[in-house]
Amino acid sequence: MTTPSSSWPGTDGATAPPPGCPAHGLGPNGLRRLYGPEADTDLAGLYEKLRAEHGPVAPVLIHNDVPIWAVLGHSENLHMIRTPSQYTRDSRIWRAVRDGTAGPDNPLAPVFTWQPMATFAEGDEHQRLRGAVTGAMSGIDHRGVRRYINRYTNHLLNDICQDGQADLVSQFAEHLPMMVMCHILGMPEEYNERMVQSARDMIKGTETAIASNAYIMKVMMGLVARRRAHPEEDFTSSLIAHPAQLSDDEVGAHLRLVLIAAYEATANLIANVLRMVLTDPRFRAQLSGGQMTVPEAVEQSLWDEPPFSAMVGYFAKQETQLGGQRIRPGDGLIFGIAPGNVDPMVRPDLAANMQGNRSHLAFGSGPHECPGQDIGRAIADTGVDALLMRLPDVELDVPESELRWTSSILSRHLVQLPVRFAPRPPQDVMARPSAQVPAPRRDWHVSSPPPSRAPEPVAAQAPQQPASAPLAENERPKGAWRRFLTWWRGY
């Protein structure tokens, strides 16, 4: 463990607290750790302690007791990520990197280590790299993607529908985003359990995170080599062919960025939305009654349980003030998404409905705002909608109090979501989905008979026409709602 110096954030030369002090044992200089037992148990509660003790910007420690600032306020976070003249994503200026405190052996090194990609660039270089990514994304056929989301959703549901019970985290939420992203990148054959688990592991700060990152990069670089030799109509080929002329290392780094950011965020988002639907009767009633759509449910979840809790990190380019704290050049800062979303200054009542309000921090803002957020929304919207249509009677199979999460600085992950439902036969995954509209009821009971009418004179009656055969159920004209659902799903 590195000995703390007086230049660490928030210390101003202070010495460690003496034995017996309430802060004794927390960490060097009495700073709270965002890892370890307290953080693993209740990271949200820890953020609120820090807010009460220090205000909207608090000094903390991350893995290996590396000092950093945690930005907790909503407006302070927005100022930091929207002011590239003062704060950068280039970790090479971070004092902890320069002095070796945050070295390549740090469990979070795969997240903050500088790489040749837009996330760490600024100025003209950032425009070149980000322009290539957004240009490649503009070629994605979103209606076609929705068709594949439905197909993959039904494929996953076919594996569980006959059992009548399932875990919607390990059997659905963790797999659907990886299946879709592998398809978008142009490597559906690489989808497997190891890809899923490596993608989850590499951002958790575990002892195996570096090895998981190496496996993901090996797969990405293999894909780059194949598409250099044989281009196809996919995201990777578009990225390679972009006029920015990215090198192989740049293409591989951006493929990993797009895959991991979209996968982790969407897997958590799907799990969180399904949990809300299954545990909050008001939420489900609004969804079932039409007062709330699935996309609106997704936005509510992005406020309450953002897929990424925080991001490491931003780095000060000059001396400045933020949230009442003195920030020195070379200081590191954490983009606090989850604590910013519950800042009392913007959400004094956390129970208030946030429908229609997209000012959450879930996808960032400024020059580094997530460019793939629409893909994540599409996977969550379409996947959850298709699941609820296939399993309309799905219910939580354990008391809500038994649900468990694993937490890290970067994300909060629901471990399991056990559910039950009536067993059903598998469906053809290639079939077009249709809205299940009940047949009109024909056995209504009325309290009085309908008024009788006198028969028409025979001479006035028109010649009787042969009765036409009734339309079969699947031949009936589609109403506006059924036509909209068919379009929404990509057909």
- The pLDDT confidence band at residue 442, using thresholds 50, 70 and 90, is very low
Answer yes or no: is pLDDT of 459 > 70: no
What is the reported pLDDT for 115?
A: 85
Rg of the chain on CA atoms, in Å: 27
Question: Distance (Å, rounded) from C-alpha 435 to C-alpha 481?
Answer: 8
Sequence ranges of the domains in the chain:
75-420
Amino acid at 148: Y
Instruction: For residue 374, list its beta bridge partners.
Output: none
Residue 24: band (very low, low, confident or very high) from pLDDT cuts 50, 70, 90: very low
Residue 419: closest CA among 178, 148, 157:
157
Percent of the chain with pLDDT over 70: 80
| Strand partners of residue 32 | 60
**What's the farthest any 2 CA atoms get from each other in the chain?**
112
Where does the pLDDT of residue 16 fall: very low under 50, low under 70, confident under 90, or very high at 90 and above?
very low
User: What DSSP letter does each residue of 171-191 carry, written as one string?
Assistant: IIITTHHHHHHHHHHT-GGG-
The whole-number average pLDDT for the span 432-439 is 46
**Which residues neighbour 416 within 8 Å (Cβ) at sequence distance 6 or greater?**
167, 169, 170, 403, 404
What is d(CA 380, CA 265) in angstroms, rounded to the nearest whole number?
Answer: 10
Q: Partners of 321 in the beta sheet? A: 326
Q: Is the pLDDT of residue 187 over 80?
A: yes
Q: Which residues are 334's β-sheet partners?
A: 70, 312
Across residues 349-372, what is the average pLDDT?
Answer: 87
Distance CA 143, CA 2 (A): 52
* 15-19, 82-86, 184-188, 351-355, range with the lowest pLDDT: 15-19
Judged by average pLDDT, the poorest of 53-67, 105-119, 370-384, 451-465 is 451-465
- Average of pLDDT values for 466-481? 48
On average, the pLDDT of the chain sits at 83
Lowest mean per-residue pLDDT among 139-148, 419-428, 478-487: 478-487
pLDDT, one tens digit per residue, over 54-71 is 999 999 999 999 999 999
3 state DSSP class of 350: coil
- Asked if residue 11 has pLDDT above 60, the reply is no
Residue 202: CB partners within 8 Å, gap ≥ 6? 110, 209, 210, 212, 213, 216, 260
Q: For residue 439, is pLDDT > 70?
A: no
pLDDT at 447 over 80: no
- Asked whether the predicted pLDDT for residue 369 surpasses 70, the reply is yes
Torsion of CA 303, 409, 114, 97, to 10 degrees: 140
Contact (Cβ atoms closer than 8 angstroms) between residue 334 and residue 409: yes
Q: Which CATH superfamily is domain 75-420 in?
A: Cytochrome P450 (1.10.630.10)
Question: Is the CB of residue 86 less than 8 Å from the CB of residue 117?
Answer: no
Q: Tell me what pLDDT residue 486 has.
A: 58
Round to whole Å and give the CA distance between 271 and 474.
Answer: 34
213-235 mean pLDDT: 94
- pLDDT level of residue 281 (50, 70, 90 thresholds): confident
Please report the pLDDT score of residue 277 as a whole number: 87
For residue 364, say if its preceding peptide bond is cis, omega within 30 degrees of 0: no
Rounded CA separation 206/35 (Å): 11
Strand partners, 106: none
